[in-house]
Amino acid sequence: MITDGPSHPEPALDRAVAHVRARVSNRPRLGLILGSGLSDLADVVEHPVVLETADIPGYQGSTVQGHKGRLVFGRLEGVDVVFVQGRLHVYEGHSVADATFPVRLLAALGVEGLIITNAAGGIRTDFVPGTLMWITDHIPFAFRDIPAPTSVSSRPGREAPTPWDLEWTSRAADIADRLGIPTRSGTYLWTLGPSYETKAEIRMFAGFGADAVGMSTVPEAIVARDLSVEVLGISTITNHAAGLGHETLDHSEVLEVGRQVRADLQRLITALVGEFGTRSR
């Protein structure tokens, strides 16, 4: 297990909060992290205030195509929200602490719930491109310790962190049903990347019981839950893993399928935000 503790002392977080508060008057209750090809989901926000993450103290830069590097604050369905465009991946060279800085920032800003989206490869053969999968469990296969100092610490001998809010997930699945949007549930395997997997790896992951594979989300979810933020995870299956069923697999295919499911995901996320807004504080 490789451990990389926070490279930023807490003052960076305090400065980041001050930076945001000086520019944004809304107080987001709900955060949404947008995965590859899903950045446009923030377009529906009313009265948007956009901050470039490069200007925020302590916030590292995203280097990946399809990831914009912005925080979009605004209102949706009467709820103050913040969308994170441009997640940071460990494979970009960021420490886990840096890659999860956005989550600590959102928690420090008062966010109570976090919807995490991603693009993932489908390992189950019936998880065809375009399938939406609720993440109900995960396999951490990136061999990184995730600093989670409070409730779900990964210190030796402690329970493995299970950040997924299954009650919220079940309510979310009902909402999708009512909207006529098909969804599935499954186990997400977090791999470091950045290359896609070999066919042999995917056979192994299938044997482990993984339903989908991707390069993000798990650290964000664990850190959020550790900070008492409720977590809902949803994967957009953009391809059969390792191109099984395809000859080639590249990032442009991942982005294209992300765009195609955008309309369904947009309706779903809007409804999920509305439901979140009905909860008492």
Residue ranges that bind ligand HPA, judged by CB under 6 A: 119-121, 196-197, 213-215, 238-239, 241, 254
- Can you spell out the DSSP letters for 143-162? -B-----STT---TTSPPP-
Residue 214 CB, nearest approach to ligand HPA (Å): 4
Q: Catalytic site residue 89?
A: yes
Which has the closest alpha carbon to 60: 1, 109, 100, 114? Answer: 100
CB of 241 to ligand HPA, least distance (A): 5
Check 16, 239, 240, 241 and give the catalytic one: 239
Pairing of strands 212-214, 132-140: unpaired
62 belongs to the catalytic site? no
Six token digits for residue 89: 């991946």
Which is the catalytic residue, given 89, 94, 138, 240?
89
Give the C-alpha separation, 214 to 216, whole Å: 6
170 among known catalytic residues: no
The nearer residue to ligand HPA, 121 or 233, going by C-beta atoms, is 121
Pairing of strands 79-85, 30-34: parallel
* Helices and strands (DSSP H and E) totals, the chain: 8, 9
Pinpoint the alpha helices (H) of 130-247.
166-179, 199-208, 218-226
Residue 216 appears among annotated catalytic residues: yes
Supply the minimum distance, in Å, between the C-beta of residue 216 and ligand HPA: 8
Q: Return all residues near 274 (Cβ < 8 A) that are at least 6 apart.
A: 77, 78, 79
Given a contact cutoff of 8 angstroms between Cβ atoms, the answer to whether 135 and 231 are in contact is: no
Determine whether 119 is an active site residue: yes
Question: Catalytic: 92?
Answer: yes
Q: How many Å apart are CA 177 and CA 173, to the nearest integer?
A: 6
CB-closest chain residue to ligand HPA: 121
Which position among 7, 26, 251, 253 bears the catalytic label? Answer: 251
Catalytic site residue 91?
yes
8 Å CB contact between 129 and 237: yes
From 97, 99, 212, 215, the catalytic residue: 215
Nearest distance, CB of residue 126 and ligand HPA, angstroms: 16
Rank residues 5 and 194 by Cβ distance to ligand HPA and give the closer one. 194
Q: Write down the catalytic residue from 12, 36, 62, 99.
A: 36
Least distance from C-beta 197 to ligand HPA, angstroms? 6
> Quick check: is 240 catalytic?
no
Active site residue 251: yes
181 versus 192: smaller Cβ distance to ligand HPA:
192
**74 or 233: whose CB is closer to ligand HPA?**
233
- Which residues are identified as catalytic? 36, 67, 89, 91-92, 119, 215-216, 239, 251
